[in-house]
């Protein structure tokens, strides 16, 4: 089938000029000979208005030039359509793109698009809300809320918000329920990860796979701020082993396991984000993997 691409460009994601991005995309796609058109992203995150165009014009690819929030909203709206999805990473974190091995530079990311190699990947649902990358509860939830209020996006702003929250961070109380196990814990944050990272290759879940039918759960429990830093970096460096779900040691500083479903009681209403977008804290959180729910363009062997 002849390929036809719709590019969705988010004008506000990250810090790069989207005029420049759009010009590069147009020039490179013209060279590839694939017909294409541009649509700007929409603030309300609902892309159902593209369904008719996709079907009548036989669009084959939806490529998002934006960050994780935009990718998540576009895929959620259009995953039932007969299209594959690509990413030109232009966000502040780009956790899904980098987790999938998509290159950072626009031209190299476009090469991946033009090579036309795609693979089915998982998403997951958080109280039925779609997520493709990572849901954070606690510390990074608060950071996401602060980041969304900042005047500027980008990595530098994100790092500033991490530092300003670090010294005031306190643990929250949670109950964790798996099908064969229940335990309570006080934790600074819980990451539920489909991709292996928060973004910018900060790999909070180094064993995560986008196509294994599971999410990685990382619980960083109550401890001194000094050991919190040390243990978080041990986790990011892959030095903290995965625990078997049947055999979780809840006394560890970092509890790390994989599951296809989890229920969390968030007693302290710890702040939350889904794919970097702040969402209202929920007291009862049900997470379930949605296996093989969309096709992602990646480099061969990228996942
Ligand atoms: N046309 C628009 N005008 C204003 N806001 C928009 C528009 N399109 C999308 N948005 C908002 O942009 C946000 C998503 O930004 P995105 O995730 O792409 O970038 P980022 O947050 O900088 O990167 P990352 O998520 O990778 O850290 C969403 O909150 C979305 O509602």
Show me where the domains of the chain are located.
5-122, 129-290
Pocket test residue of 16, 69, 77 for ligand 1, highest count of atoms within 8 A of CB? 69
pTM score, whole prediction: 0.94
State in Å: Cα 174 to ligand 1 middle.
Answer: 30
Using pLDDT thresholds of 50, 70 and 90, give the confidence band for residue 63: very high
What ipTM was assigned to the predicted interfaces of this complex?
0.96
Query: What class does CATH assign to 5-122?
Result: alpha beta
Q: Give mean pLDDT, residues 210-236.
A: 96
Confidence check: pLDDT of 303 > 80 = no
Residues with CB under 6 A from ligand 1: 10-14, 40-43, 45, 66-70, 91-94, 153, 199, 276-277
CATH for the stretch 129-290: 2.60.200.40
* Closest ligand 1 atom number to CA of residue 276: 25
Residue-level pLDDT at 19? 81
Pairing status of strand 118-126 against strand 284-297: antiparallel
Q: Mean pLDDT, the chain, as a whole number? A: 95
Using pLDDT thresholds of 50, 70 and 90, give the confidence band for residue 261: very high
Residue-level pLDDT at 18? 76
Distance from CA of residue 293 to its chain's centroid?
A: 15
* Closest ligand 1 atom number to CA of residue 64: 18
Pocket test residue of 11, 14, 43 for ligand 1, highest count of atoms within 8 A of CB? 43
Query: CA torsion 88→91→93→96, rounded to 10°?
Result: -40
Q: Taking the chain, what is the end-to-end CA distance rounded to the nearest angstrom?
A: 25
Using pLDDT thresholds of 50, 70 and 90, give the confidence band for residue 154: confident
Question: Can you tell me whether residue 83 is helix, strand or coil?
Answer: coil
* Closest ligand 1 atom number to CA of residue 10: 8
Confidence check: pLDDT of 302 > 80 = no
């Amino acid at each position: 089938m002849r390929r036809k691409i719709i590019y969705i460009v988010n004008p506000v994601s990250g810090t790069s000029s989207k005029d420049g991005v759009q010009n590069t995309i147009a020039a490179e796609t013209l060279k590839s000979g694939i017909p294409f058109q541009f649509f700007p992203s929409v603030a309300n995150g609902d892309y159902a208005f593209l369904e008719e165009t996709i079907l009548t014009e036989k669009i084959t690819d939806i490529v998002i030039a934006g960050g994780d929030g935009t990718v998540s909203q576009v895929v959620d709206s259009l995953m039932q359509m007969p299209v594959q999805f690509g990413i030109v990473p232009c966000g502040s974190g780009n956790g899904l793109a980098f987790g999938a091995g998509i290159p950072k530079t626009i031209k190299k990311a476009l090469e991946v698009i033009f090579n036309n190699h795609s693979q089915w990947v998982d998403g997951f649902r958080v109280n039925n809300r779609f997520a493709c990358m990572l849901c954070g509860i606690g510390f990074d939830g608060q950071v996401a809320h602060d980041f969304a209020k900042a005047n500027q996006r980008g990595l530098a702003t994100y790092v500033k918000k991490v530092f300003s929250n670090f010294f005031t961070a306190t643990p929250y109380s949670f109950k964790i329920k798996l099908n064969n196990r229940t335990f309570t814990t006080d934790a600074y944050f819980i990451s539920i990860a489909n991709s292996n990272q928060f973004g910018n290759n900060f790999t909070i879940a180094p064993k995560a796979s986008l196509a294994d039918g599971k999410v990685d759960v990382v619980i960083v429990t109550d401890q001194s701020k000094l050991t919190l830093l040390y243990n978080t970096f041990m986790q990011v460096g892959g030095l903290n082993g995965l625990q078997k779900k049947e055999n979780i040691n809840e006394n560890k500083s970092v509890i790390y396991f994989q599951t296809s479903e989890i229920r969390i009681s968030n007693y302290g209403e710890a702040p939350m984000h889904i794919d970097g977008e702040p969402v209202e804290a929920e007291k009862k959180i049900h997470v379930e993997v949605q296996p093989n729910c969309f096709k992602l363009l990646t480099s061969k062997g990228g996942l």
